[in-house]
Amino acid sequence: MAFSRNVKIAPSILSADFADFGREIQAVEREGADWIHVDVMDGHFVPNLTFGPPAVKAFRKHVKTFMDVHLMISPVDSYIDAYADAGADMLTAHVEAGPHPHRTLQAIKAAGMQAGIALNPGTPAEAVRDLLPLADMVLVMTVNPGFGGQKFIDMTQKVRTIRDWIGDREIHIQIDGGVTPETAPLVVEAGADVLVAGSAVFKGGSVDAPQAYGDNMRAIRASVA
């Protein structure tokens, strides 16, 4: 996928109907999703448990755009090949998840995927500065990871700092947590170009009434136009 700084919306399927993931993915893509965001949680690094490689492999069959897999797990390195085999296009690991994030990013790229590095709200931007040469994306968490539907934490200064460091390099800045038409303009103005949205996309709709998904995404896009 060619690099672009145009704003992209990545619905988080954590907010989809767990009994109908295939059709949910197809529905949000038809309604205009740019990426599909998959939140992987291990019940250890974060207090929740979600998807493993077999589930991600099953999702892959339905994703026609770009599958963005966010690992909220520790350790990471021993699972990289499994998520590559499952079909992830981008694999994002947390800088807090292990002592050697540099090596983790190298391993992700060696496995044939794009590599992202994520920062929790309490982690300073400086933690990723030396990792930028290896990163295709920096994910700035605007909630504490683990659950959907949380209130947005303002990280705009962190986003601006990272955007300044990126300069003209082809590195995305993704925002995950509390993205709505009210908060999206704040982070886009600061330099973000990929917006993860869960409940803000899926609210009010279903696979049988997916127009609400499109309306919700159009509202987010309109807010940053």
Q: Catalytic residue among 34, 39, 42, 193, which?
A: 39
Residue 6 buriedness (CB in 10 A; 0-12 / 13-18 / 19+): exposed
Site of tokens 């520790």? 74
130 catalytically annotated: no
Q: Catalytic residue among 34, 136, 176, 193, which?
A: 176
* DSSP one-letter string for the chain: -----S-EEEEBGGGS-TT-HHHHHHHHHHTT-S-EEEEEEBSSSSS-B---HHHHHHHHTT--S-EEEEEE-SS-GGGHHHHHHHT-SEEEEEGGG-S-HHHHHHHHHHTTSEEEEEE-TTS-THHHHTTGGG-SEEEEESS-TT-SSPPP---HHHHHHHHHHHTTS--EEEEESS--TTTHHHHHHHT--EEEESHHHHTT-BTTBTHHHHHHHHHHHHHH-
Catalytic residue numbers, as ranges: 39, 176
